[in-house]
Amino acid sequence: MATGKAAAGGSVRGRFDAFRLAARGEALGGEVDMTGRARVRDRLAQTAGAAIVSWRIQGGHDALGRAALTLTVQGNLPLECQRCLQAFDTAIEQQSELLLARDEAELAKLDAEEGEVLLASTPLDAMTLVEDELLLSLPFAPMHAEAQCPAPAQAGEPGGEPERNTPSPFARLAALKKRSGGTSKE
């Protein structure tokens, strides 16, 4: 533990001051292979290839002038079809505006009024934000479109009915786990 300080340049690698980014209207971005990020990798099909996602974090303000980040992630990720168990690429494109809170009190206040709020009292880890955003945008029960799926449709499944309307038990379990795992957020 000889190195207690970040390298010259001031900021810890991968972390950034969200309020400063917002105040300056600056952006961060890059590409990352999500097979190196355990939480997302667990949701991907096991393929040999990489799962490259491009990301961008734009600092700025919302319509009311409050500090905010706009987070964009996009890429093609290999998911495992829950019907035929084969891997297929799914295009992900997700953009979210995250309001910044300076402390817990502000977080609680904004959280009650707004959709997505981020506690930014300490430097944030860009990759964690990207990871969280991807986890939110991945389908719980990914499936091929019916016409492209080699497995026959289940008996009684009406044609043209989107699979999203019938989440698998696994999806429900995951949702429950997610809910009980964190603080209760509406």
CB 85 within 8 A of CB 78: no
Per-residue binding string, Zn ion, 120-159, x by CB under 5 A, is ------------------------x----x----------
Q: How far is the CB of 45 from Zn ion (least distance, A)?
A: 11
For residue 67, what are the contacts with CB-CB under 8 A and spacing of at least 6?
18, 19, 22, 23, 59, 61, 99, 100, 120
E strands in 3-144: 15-16, 27-33, 52-61, 67-80, 87-101, 117-119, 124-125
CB 102 within 8 A of CB 120: yes
Q: Which stretch binds Zn ion (CB under 5 A): 21-29, 36-44, 75-83, 96-104?
A: 75-83
163 binds Zn ion (CB under 5 A): no
Which residue of this chain has its Cβ atom nearest to Zn ion in the complex? 81
Q: Which stretch binds Zn ion (CB under 5 A): 29-37, 67-75, 81-89, 173-181?
A: 81-89
| Cα dist from 28 to 1, 92, 126, 131, 171, whole Å | 29, 19, 8, 15, 33
Q: How far is the CB of 85 from Zn ion (least distance, A)?
A: 7
- Contact pick of 44, 83, 96, 129 for Zn ion (by CB under 5 A): 83
Report how many residues bind Zn ion under the rule CB under 5 A.
5
Q: How far is the CB of 132 from Zn ion (least distance, A)?
A: 27
Q: Which stretch binds Zn ion (CB under 5 A): 27-35, 49-57, 78-86, 168-176?
A: 78-86
C-beta closer to Zn ion: residue 158 or 181: 158
- Contact pick of 53, 81, 118, 130 for Zn ion (by CB under 5 A): 81
Main-chain phi, psi angles of 49, to 5 degrees: -80, 175
84 binds Zn ion (CB under 5 A): yes
Cα of 43 vs its chain's centroid, Å: 12
3-state secondary structure of 1: coil
List of residues contacting Zn ion (CB under 5 A): 81, 83-84, 144, 149
